[in-house]
Amino acid sequence: MTPPKKSGPGKIRAAVFRAIGLPLQIESLELDGPRDDEVLVRIEASGVCHTDISYIEDWGTDVPVILGHEGAGIIEQAGKKISGLKKGDHVVLSFQSCGNCPQCRKGRPAHCRRFMGLNFGFSRADGSNAYGGGVRGHFFGQSSFATHALATERNAVKVAKDLPLRVLAPLGCGLQTGAGTVLNSLGVPAGSSIAVFGTGSVGLAAIMAAKIAGAHPVIGIDIRPARLKLAKELGATHATNSSREDVLLRVQKITGKGIDYTVETSGDDEMYNLSLELLNPRGIAALLTGAAGPSSMPGGRKALSIIQGDADPQVFIPRMIGLYREGRFPFDRLEKAYKISEINRAIVDSMRGRTIKPVLLIDRQTDRT
């Protein structure tokens, strides 16, 4: 039996993706109110992530849908089964998980048995959809390219009200993935060497986390001089331009051997191969682009395909905020704000490397434009 619809915001505005090659369009849609286990969030800001762009450029054949999965906003309604959140709370939204499978019960929601369906299925866990007009949402349990989104206690993280939501929004995916890879997945110990391939938002988050962990040297590798300059400002001890230098020789010169840990975020085949080739014996490569590593490598080397930095958002997002307050994780330096009406420009700027982390500002007036 389908649960009855709850009263909600009624008309919302959302950036709808209808076909590969077409720009996203801001449209008016109907959205049901929250069920007993959901919260209705008025979105104030949303990061634009590479996963959103990949869907727009390559994956999006089952449309129309609402993307966005780095949302932040204020709760307007909370279902009666919600105990830890209430109206008026500020929240950062992250990925969805079931909470019931063995991995979720162990505090490892990134390995949820239902991860793919809950985050890429464009539906609630029961297969239903809260949006009207034939448009589907619930991307990563949120679809934050909109004025309002539905979420659950699993993926809505309460945050203090003294920090701007527009700054905090990107914590829910890309920054969590980069920092979590270093601090959670790899557990990089102080004094270990690390090379980060690609200095976009994920790679720069990994570099900041490597500095926090006390790694040395920390090597940033990219083709864009401006990003390499920023990488050094944020914690890289060395920066290598892979379009101008032999990365293998450069890293070996810096370390005198190979590297203990590598983080591959670029998606480039040559950099992928180097991230494995450069490893010291018992070294570990973290692959963040969905690539799989060899099943075995000599010398006890390992390659791990990592999702969401093995983070529990309810634990790790507050940790990142704490590090930000201490001045140790200045992720706001990666961000550039755009109006929601500028979403297509924000996507192009990100693809062309002009902006590291676009953040869409969803103004309250968006409802009435």
pLDDT digits (tens, 9 = 90+) for 257-276: 999 999 999 999 999 999 99
N- to C-terminal Cα distance for the chain? 37
In the Cβ-directed half-sphere of 289, how many Cα atoms lie within 13 Å?
A: 19
pLDDT at residue 111 greater than cutoff 90: yes
Give the H or E element holding residue 252.
helix 247-255
pLDDT in tens, 4-28: 455 667 799 999 999 988 999 999 9
Percent of the chain at pLDDT exceeding 70: 96
| pLDDT given at position 1 | 42
Give the H or E element holding residue 14.
strand 10-17
| pLDDT given at position 58 | 85
Task: Report the C-alpha gap between 150 and 152 in whole angstroms.
Answer: 7
| pLDDT given at position 61 | 76
| pLDDT given at position 295 | 76
Mean pLDDT over residues 23-45, rounded? 97
pLDDT in tens, 186-232: 999 999 999 999 999 999 999 999 999 999 999 999 999 999 999 99
Weakest mean pLDDT among 65-69, 183-187, 188-192, 287-291: 287-291
SS3 156: strand
| pLDDT given at position 367 | 40
Distances (CA, A) of 333 to 102, 106, 200, 227: 38, 34, 12, 11
| pLDDT given at position 91 | 98
Task: Report the C-alpha gap between 185 and 187 in whole angstroms.
Answer: 6
Task: Report the C-alpha gap between 128 and 111 in whole angstroms.
Answer: 23
Mean pLDDT over residues 247-254, rounded? 96
Are 268 and 289 contacting, i.e. CB atoms less than 8 angstroms apart? no
Cβ within 8 Å of residue 117, ≥6 positions away = 125
pLDDT in tens, 124-162: 999 999 999 999 999 999 999 999 999 999 999 999 999
Q: Which residue has the tokens 């590291």?
A: 356
pTM for the whole structure: 0.94
SS3 159: strand
My answer on whether omega of the bond before 64 falls inside 30° of 0, hence cis, is: yes
pLDDT at residue 369 greater than cutoff 50: no
Are 44 and 362 contacting, i.e. CB atoms less than 8 angstroms apart? yes
| pLDDT given at position 2 | 46
Of the pLDDT bands very low, low, confident and very high (cuts 50, 70, 90), residue 60 is confident
Distances (CA, A) of 344 to 41, 45, 91, 234: 23, 15, 25, 29
| pLDDT given at position 365 | 52
Task: Report the C-alpha gap between 114 and 111 in whole angstroms.
Answer: 8
Task: Report the C-alpha gap between 61 and 108 in whole angstroms.
Answer: 31
Of the pLDDT bands very low, low, confident and very high (cuts 50, 70, 90), residue 364 is low
| Helix-, strand-, coil-residue percentages of the chain, each rounded to 5 | 35, 25, 40
- Exposed, middle or buried by CB within 10 Å (0-12, 13-18, 19+), for 365? exposed
Instruction: Report the candidate in 202, 277, 218 with the shortest Cα–Cα distance to residue 49.
Output: 202
pLDDT at residue 368 greater than cutoff 80: no
Mean pLDDT over residues 278-294, rounded? 92
Instruction: Report the candidate in 47, 65, 45, 69 with the shortest Cα–Cα distance to residue 56.
Output: 65
| CA 32, 119, 200, 183 torsion-angle sign | positive
Are 331 and 208 contacting, i.e. CB atoms less than 8 angstroms apart? yes
| pLDDT given at position 363 | 76
Q: Is 308 left (phi over 0), alpha (psi -120 to 50) or beta?
A: left
Mean pLDDT over residues 358-367, rounded? 76
Of the pLDDT bands very low, low, confident and very high (cuts 50, 70, 90), residue 289 is confident
Q: Which tokens go with 320?
A: 């990142």
Mean pLDDT over residues 332-345, rounded? 97
